[in-house]
Each structure stands twice: as C-alpha cells, then as structure tokens.
Structure 1
Amino acid sequence: MISKDDIFNIKTHAEFEALALDVFRFQFENNRVYRSFCDLLYKHPSDIKCLTEIPFLPIQFFKTREVLSSLNKVEKIFTSSGTTGSTTSKHFVTDLSIYEESYLKGFQHFYGNIEDYAVLALLPSYLEREGSSLIYMVDDLIQKSDHPESGFYLNNLQDLTETLKSLEAQNQKTLLIGVSFALLDLVEQFQFSLKHTIVMETGGMKGRRKEIIRQELHDRLKKGFGVNQIHSEYGMTELLSQAYSKGSGIFECPPWMKIITRDTEDALTLLQQNKTGGINIIDLTNMNSCAFIATQDLGKTSENGQFEIIGRFDNSDIRGCNLMAL
C-alpha cells in the first residue's frame, strides 16, 4: 500500500520512478476513468517498464468525470474558475491531509519555515467564488504564519499598502501572493521599494485585463514593487502540488512532482529537453485521483528538471488526442 511517507520522503530519481510505477499500477486497478483511457491505448501495467511509458490522462476529464482512485468519502471538491457558461474542472479530494502536507512541505522546500513570514494575499478573483484550492492553501499558510498582519485583501489596496510598508519598516520577512491583474492594480496606484518582501504572482488576468507576456508583466511588477525578481506559483485545481519560480519564469518542482513535455501534434510522443511541447505532469500526491495528467499548457523542460511555461494550446481540446469519448 502506498503511503504519504513514501511520497514525501523521495530523495532520488530512482525512488521517484519506482513510486510512480507503483502509483500507476494502483490507479490502473482502482480508477475507472483512467483504466478506460489506458484500455483505449492498449496500455497495461505489464507493458509499462519505465516512467516515460505511463499514459497521461487529458486534463479535460476532470470536467466531465469523477476522477477517483479511492472509495473513501470525498472530503472536499476543488473547482476551477472557468468563464461564464463553461464547464469547470472538479477535483474530488478524499484525503485533505495529503494536500496540506504537500503545500506546507513544498513551501518549506523552497522558502523555509512559514512561521518566519507575514503572508499577505491579494486574490480577489479567487475569493469571489467557492471551491478554490489556491484559497484553501493560502488561508492555511496565513493561519500557520501566525503573524498578526497576515491576511486576505480584496479591494482595500490602501490598507494593503500601509501594511506592506509597515512590515518593511520592521524588517519583517513577508510573502505577498497575488493574481496578476490585482498586483498590477496595486503598483499602478502605489509605489514601493521592498527589501524584505517576496512578491509572488499566481498568473492570469482572469478576464479583468488584456493578457500580456510574462516578461512584460514581470518588468512592470519589478519596477512597481522595487524588487529584483518576481516569484511565481504554478498550480491548478487538478493537482495537489505546486511548482515555484524564484525569478525569470524558471520553475522547479518539489521532489514528488515532475514535468515532461509531449509533442503538440502527437500526444503520445514525449519530447527531449529544451523542446517546446505540451506539459505533462506527474504529481504523486494525486494518488487518490490521477497522478498522470496531460495539461493544456505549453512549455519546455531543461536537463536539471526545471521548466518554463510558454503559453497554452490555441484551441480548447488538446490536439493529437482523440480519446475523449469514454
């Protein structure tokens, strides 16, 4: 039986690969949606000898099916934002403690103890709806930081500005995490010179502004906040883990998560490093749903396991994969 300890104690690539194969076999046997998908591809555990042979489930299945590998009671349903009238993704989570351990250990891995930080969250578009996994994570980080100034800010940018400047004056390590359009709103109204604050964007204009390329976004935010780098968080409703970038849009995964790229015209063909393709994610904390997901993001990986996100597929369906009709 696969345990949380197995996942969070991974130290080497060999350990990751061995556990990924175990998770694949478990999900093949226990996840009806994933099993049907593998059957359509004629992929059976007896055929799968290494990591790169494991099939990746197109992420759209989270919009139309209950993607579950567990018979335990669902503790929480995380939902994607989606545009008006569109179908949202649903991630049925049967063990919230895995998610909590994932984001706490992930943050610790990249940034150290959350108790050392004041956490300020500028996530209006997420706060305005139910079911956001990002809000669940950030709310817990705020609680765990145990700092009196930590909290959410909706439209009260003046209050946020005063809090940021007060924390700076105290030399307090601070995490400001925000959605892109709200961070731009902030620096267009106020000017900062932050020395003790990590500014982290979670991506997306959420229909509030025209989309701009990451370089332009980061340049404007760096200038407005007076910082050398803009950090980024990469996560999604369908995952229970996050990757982080400490600048220049170069992301790293925690030890239990891995990115692989696929050919944009042939979803079953994987690419070498440094070639742009569709992003496939292995997130072993998804052991109770599906750990192997083909996303709609485009990017490329490097030899050291880092990756970049370049954009998204033009059309709503992933090209090269006509196996959606289960």
Structure 2
Amino acid sequence: MISPQDIFTIANQKQFEKIALKVFRFQYENNLVYRDFCNFLKVEKSSVKSLQQIPFLPIQFFKSHEVISSTNPVQETFTSSGTTGMITSKHLVTDVTLYEQSYRNAFSQFYGNIEDYAVLALLPSYLERKGSSLIYMVNDLIQLSNNTNSGFYLHNYDELTSKLIELDSEGQNVLLIGVTYALLDLIEQQNFQLQNTIVIETGGMKGKRKEIIREELHEILCKGFGVSNIHSEYGMTELLSQAYSLGNGIFECPNWMQILIRDTEDALSYVSTGKTGGINVIDLANINSCSFIATQDLGKKYPNNHASRQTGSFEVLGRFDNSDIRGCNLMVI
C-alpha cells in the first residue's frame, strides 16, 4: 500500500520512479476505466517497467467517465468551468486531505510559510460557480495565513485597490492571486507601484477578453502592477497538484509531480527536451483517481537548472485545437 508519507517525502528521481510504478500498478488494479484504457492499448501491468511505458489517460475521460481508484465514499466533487451547454469535467475526490497536503506542501516548497503573507484573491468567475478546486485551495490558504486582511474579492475593485496599496505600503508581504482577465480589469482602473506583493495569475480569459500570448500579457501586468515579474500557477480540475512559475512562464513541479512531453503525431511516444509536444502529467497525489493524465496543453521541457530538483522545468505554449488531438481519439472506447 502507498501512503501519503511515501508520496510527499520523495527526494530524488529514483524514488519518484519507484513510487510512480507502484501507483501505476495500484491504479491498473483498482481503476476500471484506466484498466480498460490500458487493455485497449494492449498494455499489460507486468510489462510496464519505466515512466515512458505507462499509459496516460486522455483528460477528456473526466467528462464522460467516473475516474476513480477507491471504493471509499466521495468527499468532494471538483468540476471544471465551461460555457453553458458544455460538458464539464468531474473529479471525484475520496480523500480531500491528500489535496490539502499536496497544495500546502507545494506552497511551502515554492513560497515558504503561508503565515508570512496576506492572501488577496481576485477570482470572480470561479467564485460564481460551485465545485472549483482552485477556490477550495485558495480559501484554505486564506484561513492558514491567519491574517485578518486576507480574503476574496468579487467585483469590488475599489476596495481591493485600497487594501492592496495599504498593505504593500506598510511592508506587508502580499500574495495577489487572480484570474487573468480580472487582473487586467484591475490595472485598467489603477496603476500600481508594488514593492512587497507577488502577483500570481491562474490563467484564463474565461471568454471575457481576447486571448493574448503570455509574453505580452506578463509585460502588461508587470507594468500595471509595477512589479519585475509575474508568477503563474499551472493546475487543473483533474489534478490534485500544481506547478508554479516564479517568473518568465517557466514552471517547476513539486517533488511528487512531473511532466513528460508526448509527440503530437504519435500520442504513445515522446519528444526530446526543448521540443514542443503535448503535456502529460504525473501527479502522484492523485492516487485515488488517475495519476497519469494526457492533457490538451502544448508545451516543452527544459534541461534541469536546479541542482536540488531532478525533473527539469517546462513551459506551457498553448492548447491543441480539436482537430489536433491525434491519439486522443483513442478516447472513444
């Protein structure tokens, strides 16, 4: 049996691979949807000896199937956002403490002690619906900060502006976590010169604005907030872990999460470092669902530039459009 302790104390690549293979075997045996997918690909449990041999479940399965590896009752159901009429993903979580351990440990790994910050959240499109895993995480971080100034803001930009300027000028470390379009709305109302604030964008125009490339977006946000770089969070409904970028759109994973880059022409093979392809995510915290997910995001990996980390960094370059999801048509099983 794999314990949370096994997952969250991974210290090197050898440990990661050993536990990932254990998780693969566990999910093959206990997740009917995943086992059917592996069988469809004619992959037998005993034949998988490396990360590259593990089948990655296309993320669309979370829209059409109950992807679950546990017989325990569901504690939380996280759902993806979507326009009216769209089929949304459902992530059935049987042990929400795994999610809490994952994002708390990751936050600590990248940012230190949460109690050192006031957390201001500008996530209107997420707040206005139920089932957001991002809201669950940020709400918990707000509580853990033990700071009376921490909190959510919906459309009350004037109040947020005043609070942000007040806290920053007092020397309080601030984390401003915002959905992209709302951060742009905020700096159109007020030009900031922030000295003690980290701005984390969670991505997404949510149909409110035209999509723009990351370099242009971050340039606009840096100028508007008066900061030298913009941080980013890479997570999704179907995962229980997040990667973070501390600037320039280059992401690092926590120690129990890794990405592989698959060939866009052949979903079952991989491209070398520096080449663009589809992002496959290994999220070992997701043990009770599926830890091996083929996303619809395009990206590339870079050589490892942190001696303490084994996995290398990565960049997210965009999304497949529907006509490009070759190999994900394996979906229709």
Q: Aligning the two structures, in what range does the TM-score lie when normalised by the shorter sequence?
A: over 0.9
The amino acid across from 1:98 in the alignment is L
CA distance in 1: counterparts of 2:327 and 2:34, whole angstroms: 18
After superposition, the Cα gap between the structure-2 partners of 1:308 and 1:263, relative to the gap in structure 1 and judged at 3 Å, is: same
The corresponding residue for 2:63 is 63
The corresponding residue for 1:108 is 108
Deviation at 1:51, TM superposition (A): 1.1
Residue 308 (str. 1) matches residue 315 (str. 2): yes
User: For residues 77-119 of structure 1, what are the alpha-carbon distances to aligned partners after superposition, in whole Å with 9 as ceiling and x for unaligned?
Assistant: 0000012211000000000000001000000000000011000
The corresponding residue for 2:294 is 294
CA contact 1:266–1:321 (8 Å) conserved in 2: no
SS of the residue corresponding to residue 152 of structure 2 reads: strand
SS of the residue corresponding to residue 138 of structure 1 reads: helix
Alpha-carbon RMSD: 0.8
Residue 72 (str. 1) matches residue 72 (str. 2): yes
Deviation at 1:322, TM superposition (A): 2.7
CA contact 1:58–1:318 (8 Å) conserved in 2: no
CA distance in 2: counterparts of 1:176 and 1:152, whole angstroms: 10
The corresponding residue for 1:126 is 126
User: For residues 15-47 of structure 1, what are the alpha-carbon distances to aligned partners after superposition, in whole Å with 9 as ceiling and x for unaligned?
Assistant: 000000000000000000000000011111211
Superposed, which structure 2 residues align to 1:195-206 within 5 Å?
Answer: 195-206=195-206
TM-score by length of 1: 0.99
Deviation at 1:325, TM superposition (A): 2.2
The corresponding residue for 1:191 is 191
The amino acid across from 1:258 in the alignment is Q
CA distance in 2: counterparts of 1:183 and 1:228, whole angstroms: 16
Deviation at 1:321, TM superposition (A): 3.1
The corresponding residue for 1:272 is 272
SS of the residue corresponding to residue 332 of structure 2 reads: coil
Residue 52 (str. 1) matches residue 59 (str. 2): no
The corresponding residue for 1:22 is 22
SS of the residue corresponding to residue 322 of structure 1 reads: helix
The amino acid across from 2:243 in the alignment is A
Which 5+ residue runs of structure 2 have no aligned equivalent?
A: 305-311
CA contact 1:257–1:283 (8 Å) conserved in 2: yes
CA distance in 2: counterparts of 1:317 and 1:286, whole angstroms: 27
Residue 95 (str. 1) matches residue 78 (str. 2): no
CA distance in 2: counterparts of 1:65 and 1:316, whole angstroms: 22
The corresponding residue for 1:37 is 37
**TM superposition outliers: structure 1 runs of 4+ over 6 Å:** none
Query: Among 307, 310, 326, which residue is 1:319 paired with?
Result: 326
Which 5+ residue runs of structure 1 have no aligned equivalent?
A: none
CA distance in 2: counterparts of 1:45 and 1:18, whole angstroms: 15
CA distance in 2: counterparts of 1:94 and 1:258, whole angstroms: 23
CA distance in 2: counterparts of 1:249 and 1:169, whole angstroms: 27
The corresponding residue for 2:155 is 155
Deviation at 1:316, TM superposition (A): 6.6
CA contact 1:76–1:94 (8 Å) conserved in 2: yes
Deviation at 1:320, TM superposition (A): 2.5
CA distance in 1: counterparts of 2:323 and 2:296, whole angstroms: 8
User: For residues 63-87 of structure 1, what are the alpha-carbon distances to aligned partners after superposition, in whole Å with 9 as ceiling and x for unaligned?
Assistant: 0000000000000000000122110
CA distance in 2: counterparts of 1:96 and 1:317, whole angstroms: 34
